[in-house]
Amino acid sequence: MGSIGNGRSVSAVGIQMPSAESKMVLEPVALPATASPVPRWPRLGVVMVATRAAALVMALLSVSLMVSSKQQGILTIFGIEIPLDANWSFSYSLQFLVGMSAASSAYSLAHLLLIAHKVVKKVPMVPSRRQTWMLFAGDQVFSLAMMSAGSAAAAVCNLNRTGIRHTALPNFCKPLPRFCDLSAASIACAFLSCVFLATSTVIDVIWLSSLGDE
């Protein structure tokens, strides 16, 4: 309280203004942007489709070449002409190769159709963990089966070319060149299909490792 000359008391009210430094300034805070998940291997789906398509083409070529390997010829031994009739169905090993190539082509075609269905439905191409395990098992089974079938057929074709050691067995590929050449090409396609299926197995492993990190 303070006194003024006339004796009246006057109450002094002090109003304190906030200083300029204490003013609260609201500034927009930048929120952390949620980045969309980026796959570790962005082109892995394209590589997978390419390997599946290549395995399908090689398996179909193996079947078509082996089925068309038929030829008749004449083998001459000491002036004696012996008629020959070569057909892939006469050998169990070649039959096994045709059967496994047909099964492998059906397997690859089914997977490609599944991928096409996902693309039409606009579903991510990357399969689930359970589907990836199934593909991994299927790729291993068919790759090993194609290798086994190709090896068995290669042994038969090599026997036709070289004969049996210490035995006067002639070279049947001389009077039957078309049959031997088509059989060799079919076996080569079977081994290439095995390589592409093995590559698909590696892709399955990469997918499993990516799904395991999620």
- Residue 13, domain member (yes or no): no
Cα–Cα dist 171/100, whole Å:
28
Cα–Cα dist 4/98, whole Å:
121
The model's pLDDT over 87-104, given as tens digits with 9 standing for 90+, comes to 888 889 899 999 999 999
- Residue 25, domain member (yes or no): no
Q: The domain containing residue 126 runs over which residues?
A: 40-211
- Residue 23, domain member (yes or no): no
Q: How far is CA 152 from CA 58, 60, 105, 157, in A?
A: 18, 19, 19, 9
Phi, psi of 172 (to 5 degrees): -75, -15
Residues of the chain with pLDDT under 70: 1-42, 75-79, 123-127, 160-171, 211-214
Could you tell me which of 176, 172, 185 has the C-alpha nearest to residue 72? 176
Look at the block and give the residue holding tokens 């991510």: 124
- Residue 140, domain member (yes or no): yes
Task: Give the dihedral sign, CA 199/204/210/213.
Answer: negative
pLDDT recorded at residue 5: 46
Q: Yes or no: say if 197 and 63 are a contact pair by the CB < 8 Å rule.
A: no
pLDDT recorded at residue 110: 92
pLDDT recorded at residue 185: 93
- Residue 14, domain member (yes or no): no
Look at the block and give the residue holding tokens 């304190």: 16
pLDDT recorded at residue 128: 74
pLDDT recorded at residue 31: 43
- 75: its two tokens: 């083998």
Helical residues (DSSP H) of the chain, grouped into ranges: 44-67, 92-120, 129-162, 177-213
- Residue 150, domain member (yes or no): yes
Could you tell me which of 94, 98, 96, 109 has the C-alpha nearest to residue 57? 109
- Residue 66, domain member (yes or no): yes
pLDDT recorded at residue 37: 40
- Residue 29, domain member (yes or no): no
Q: Yes or no: say if 175 and 160 are a contact pair by the CB < 8 Å rule.
A: no
Query: Structural domain tally of the chain?
Result: 1
